[in-house]
A = this chain, B = another copy of it.
Amino acid sequence: MVDEPLVIAGQVFSSRLIIGTGKYETYEQNARAAEAAGAEIVTVAVRRVNLTDKDKPLLVDYLDPKNYVYLPNTAGCFTADDAIRTLRLAREAGGWDLVKLEVLSDQKTLYPDMAETLRATELLVEDGFKVMVYCSDDPVYARRLEDAGCVAIMPLGSLIGSGLGVQNPVNIRLIVEQSDVPVIVDAGVGTASDAAVAMELGCDGVLMNTAIAEAGNPILMASAMKHAVIAGREAYLAGRMAKKRYADPSSPLAGLI
């Protein structure tokens, strides 16, 4: 049995692990982590160019947009308008229309503002963007986002950068069951088993940044995450054994001497 590939807005991906490009010691380390993770998509931020320091290294010189799908995000945007403005600049800069939308509520929780997020999604779809949406695990809003035409639903496992894993597996499961577009857990993964758990719930992929960038050895953790996502996906497709209250021997009872 072979798994069908991940398809987002018509693009086919063999990797189900998307990684961020923030918080790494260097872009060089970032590039090695991306390679170890087997990632095909990397999220990137849009910021003002540095006019004072010309020699500052550029992301594109380490992670070649020819080899990685750049997924511009709107991290740091707290209104639909800021997010849309940011993504229009991103589209101009990179020429891509596949984007990651996040409209945040406050600096302390970075929890998505779902009303603004839905509004921004509608406007961006209208404007021709293919929108992957960072969202809460509210299954009702997940449905609205899909109705609004987003190409991927990306509910948080737990707060951005918290590493607390999937807090509410029930909601993630409900979203997976009802969605026709890919569901990708975004934010909250802290270690490999967290990523496996997310995939075992039936998610189509996982997006993470801090879990790799802030690991003791980011390159090795990137590889761990690659395997964890495959493990969780295959376990979901294989179908796990039933849990039992008591023991059940694995060796035959017959033929004992």
Binding site for B on A (CB under 8 A): 1, 20, 22-23, 45-48, 50, 73, 75-76, 82, 85-86, 89, 105-115, 136-141, 143-144, 158-164, 167-171, 174, 190-193, 195-197, 200, 209-211, 213-221, 223-228, 230-235, 237-257
State whether A247 and B109 are in contact (beta carbons under 8 Å apart), knowing that A158-B170, A168-B167, A240-B215 are contacts in the complex. Answer: yes
The answer to whether B220 and A76 touch across the interface, beta carbons within 8 angstroms, is no
Partner of A250, one of B213, B234, B239: B213
The answer to whether A246 and B167 touch across the interface, beta carbons within 8 angstroms, is no
State whether A211 and B234 are in contact (beta carbons under 8 Å apart), knowing that A138-B111, A161-B249, A196-B192 are contacts in the complex. Answer: no
Q: Which B residues are CB-close (under 8 A) to A238?
A: 215-218, 220-221, 224
A99 to B212, CA, bound (A): 39
The answer to whether A248 and B210 touch across the interface, beta carbons within 8 angstroms, is yes
Partner of A190, one of B217, B220, B241: B241
7 A/B residue pairs, CB under 8 Å, sorted by A: A1-B220, A48-B256, A75-B250, A76-B251, A162-B243, A192-B200, A214-B242
Closest chain B CB from A221 CB (angstroms): 4
The answer to whether B109 and A251 touch across the interface, beta carbons within 8 angstroms, is no
The answer to whether B162 and A247 touch across the interface, beta carbons within 8 angstroms, is yes
State whether A114 and B114 are in contact (beta carbons under 8 Å apart), knowing that A191-B200, A220-B234, A257-B48 are contacts in the complex. Answer: yes
